[in-house]
Amino acid sequence: MTEAKIKELVAQMTLEEKAELTSGDGPWKNKAFERLGIPSMWMSDGPHGLRKQENYQEVKDINDSLPAVSLPAECAMAASFDRDLLYRIGAELGKEAQCKKVHLILGPGVNMKRSPLCGRNFEYMSEDPYVAGELGGAYIKGIQSAGVGACVKHYLANSQETRRFTSSSDVDERTLREIYMKAFESIVKDAKPMAVMSSYNKINGTYATANKYFMTDVLRGEWGYEGCVISDWGATHDRAAAVAAGTALTMPGVNETDHEVSNAVKAGILDEKDLDTACEQILKMVFDGVEAHRDDLTVDYDTERAVMREAVEQSAVLLKNKDRILPLQEGSKVAFIGGFARDPRYQGGGSSHVTPIKLTNAYDECGKLAQITYAQGYPEAAKPRLLVGVDLAGDNEQKEAERRSLEPDEKLIAEAVEVAKASDVAVIFAGLPELMESEGEDRKGLDLPPSHNALIEAVSAAQPNTVVVLSNGSPVAMPWIRNVKAVLELYLGGETVGEATANLLFGKVNPSGRLPETFPMKIEDTPCFLSFPGEGDRVPYQEGVYIGYRYYTTKKMPVLFPFGYGLSYTTFVYTDLKADTLDLKEGGNIKVTVNVKNIGKEAGREVVQLYVAPKGGEIKRPVRELRAFDKVYLEPGQEETVSFTLSPSDFAYWDIDKHGFRVAEGEYSILIGRNAFEMVLGEDISCQKEINLL
Ligand code: BGC
């Protein structure tokens, strides 16, 4: 549908019809208008597979949706650091959406992981805006390559679940620009998502949905966005203000407030031109979505699942591997301990929950490769009662039962110790049960359930060859880290997690994930510890730009595992870092090359990370920031030259006086690091004359 035709259609609509168009029809569609030939498009969550609730009138449970392939959660996808993989994940999801008549996928979430305690971190990518922007963008391009729209969410500064419907994220201008807006900016400019979802929270006192500065002035004015802004479900508090600000479509359907929009026009509070603009944006999205629909496709679950298995294999992060205990030997005697071995935790709770097609588990898959024995190790945790932020049954008795379900069971531990002693190696499957990590609620701390920690302590004391496989959506503390030989972080792997775990543990694939976030030593160390989740409805982001590794590296604070960290079954070395110029000039780029070689015996993938570090200067800045990365596959002995192109914006900070990005005159280093803490090569660059990127 052309722009002119859309304008014509809007001109034919009555004021009331236009007002009605600005809210949905029930939870998952826009309103159709037969008289005008306006169809409705279907929207479904979400980032981790389709949650299509076709007969939503009958659905009583948020988890009740049509079966669909369950993808690795975003926390896992991001750990792959692989743009091409994210594109392929998105493309598969897009194809499945096409086949199931879904026109818009409500995801991905690219909010910054300000605290490891945000209950929804599993649905976000990183604590680093560049990583979230690059990988989120690749995933969106993949989805949209299938002719299905993506809706990037939750714009803006929505980094906690506590009081998410009312709290104000109070963030200064520089921090917004350098950190919280950055991933959205690059995605909007480069991947061009069909929709942007405005978040529940307020930003500096004004609800996101009603915040004209962010929804229109920046998004459209500065970043050139041409898609449609949709409110998060129930995030609009003032219908007319939302339309005026640029949140075109309020979701879900709230027919009872549609008249507020028409009344506001009649009363002269809302300019009818703004309403027309909103309608044009909605109609463009709806027609684009519906017209791109194809009826000739069928779902190929095998192909889709194969891509997802590869994604888990590329996302798992090997955190420790003493004495090269991994990979396990085929045919050896291995004890699998912990209920997650058979009943994996593979996805997060809330709106991204998917009813899987075929869930696999490590116990069944590894049975083909070794002599596996099993012990449950800990009781099954209670199921969460929270339904997206609504505490349905808050009575103390139930809370007590939930707490008890996480406590150690001495009998199960004793059994596990015996099984472990009778084996060559014990592999403990531990992590966070859904009860401890779900949309609608923030986590209380970094600890695993007491039942999991006690099990690891007891088994590792009895069996020196203990390996821990973790399933969790966000960082956890590991008080037992010195007692175990290996730790493999799977994050939440989706429905193919069983096959992938078997391949990783037995060395059929080499782990190549890197942490897209810091694992701190303790929660008190985290940069926002003193202001998360805020008081009353105010959440001061007082740590400013010092989020995640920007804080720990600047303060030289020890962490459990740094951002960017991850081991491999092989070894890589770096040589010959070169820059084609050492002078940074306005409009000029710097081409950087570095050689990376696999000097081990296994093939493997390495994530090459480039950080930029200002050397002094009067502006306080993080000591280094990731500005480029690439993932390369190398056979044993193979060497490759990786190249990056840096532009002045990679050296810039936000100047609050000039309201723009600026590169200060001075010296900078370009560094190649194995992770945010460990730099291996460097080259100095100088900028002789300041550069303003207004
Ligand atoms: C979530 C969104 C989701 C929407 C629809 C909201 O509660 O915040 O991420 O897309 O529900 O399920």
Atom of ligand 1 nearest to the CA of 46: 10
Q: Among this protein's residues, is 232 annotated catalytic?
A: yes
Cβ atoms within 10 Å of 426's Cβ, excluding its own: 31
Q: Which of 52, 232, 354, 439 to mutate to test the pocket of ligand 1 (most atoms within 8 A of CB)?
A: 232
Q: Distance between the two ends of the chain, CA-based, in angstroms?
A: 35
Q: What's residue 388's pLDDT?
A: 46
Same domain, 370 and 474: yes
Report if residue 270 sits inside a domain: no
The per-residue pLDDT for range 128-143, each reduced to its tens digit, is 999 999 999 999 999 9
Instruction: Identify the residue whose C-alpha is closest to ligand 1 atom 12.
Output: 351
| Residue 399: partners with Cβ closer than 8 Å, 6 or more residues away | none
Output the average pLDDT for the chain: 96
Residues 611, 492, single domain; the answer is no
DSSP 8-class letter at 191: I
Task: Please give the Cα distance from 30 to 295 (Å, whole number).
Answer: 21
β-strand 202-203 against 168-170: which pairing, if any? parallel
542-597 confidence digits (pLDDT tens): 999 999 999 999 999 999 999 999 999 999 999 999 999 999 999 999 999 999 99
Q: Are residues 356 and 433 in the same domain?
A: yes
343 and 413: one domain?
A: yes
Is residue 579 located within the same domain as residue 661?
A: yes
Residue nearest to atom 8 of ligand 1 (CA): 232
pLDDT value of residue 394: 58
Name the stretches of the chain with pLDDT < 70.
Answer: 386-395
Question: What's the 121 CA to ligand 1 centre distance in angstroms?
Answer: 14
pTM over 0.95: yes
State which of 514, 544, 561 marks the end of a domain: 514
The answer on 576 and 460 residing in a single domain is no
Residue 558 Cα to ligand 1 midpoint, Å, equals: 36
Give the atom of ligand 1 at the shortest distance from the alpha carbon of 109.
9
Name the helix (H) or strand (E) containing 269.
none
Atom in ligand 1 nearest the alpha carbon of residue 106: 10
Catalytic residue among 232, 258, 288, 630: 232
**Could you tell me which of 201, 191, 248, 200 has the C-alpha nearest to residue 223?**
191
Any idea what the Cα angle at residue 120 is, between residues 544 and 537, rounded to 5°?
Answer: 55
Let me know if residue 69 belongs to a domain.
no
Which H or E run contains 145? helix 129-145
CATH number for 584: 2.60.40.10
Q: Note whether 593 and 457 are same-domain residues.
A: no
The per-residue pLDDT for range 496-520, each reduced to its tens digit, is 999 999 999 999 999 999 999 999 9
pLDDT at 393: 53
Best of 102, 154, 351, 441 to mutate for ligand 1, by most ligand atoms within 8 A of CB?
351
Residues 481, 590, single domain; the answer is: no
Residue 348 forms part of a structural domain: yes
Ligand 1 atom with the shortest distance to the CA of 154: 9
Taking the centre of ligand 1 as the mean of its atom positions, its distance from the CA of residue 304, in whole angstroms, is: 24
163-178 burial by CB neighbour count: b if 16+ within 10 A, else e? bbeebbbbbeebbbbb
**Closest Cα to atom 9 of ligand 1:** 351
Structural domain including 411 reads: 314-384+395-514
Instruction: Answer whether residue 426 is part of any domain.
Output: yes
Residue at which a domain ends, from 491, 514, 537: 514
* pLDDT score of 188: 98
Q: What is the pLDDT of residue 297?
A: 87
Residues 69 and 357: their CA atoms lie apart, in Å, by 5
Name every protein residue with a CB atom under 6 angstroms from any ligand 1 atom: 45-46, 106, 153, 232-233, 351, 388
pLDDT in tens, 435-447: 999 999 999 999 9
Beta bridge partners of 615: 667
Alpha-carbon span 127 to 182, nearest angstrom: 12
Total domain count for the chain? 2
Confirm whether 410 is domain-assigned: yes
How far is the centre of ligand 1, averaged over its atoms, from the C-alpha of 186 (Å)?
Answer: 22
Phi, psi of 102 (to 5 degrees): -105, 130
Closest ligand 1 atom to Cα of 123? 9
Residue nearest to atom 2 of ligand 1 (CA): 232
Helices (H), 214-340: 239-245, 258-266, 272-291, 301-315
* C-alpha of residue 152 to centroid of ligand 1, in Å: 11
Confidence at residue 580, expressed as pLDDT on a 0 to 100 scale: 98
Distance 252 CA to ligand 1 centre (A): 10
Distance CA 155, CA 231 (A): 9
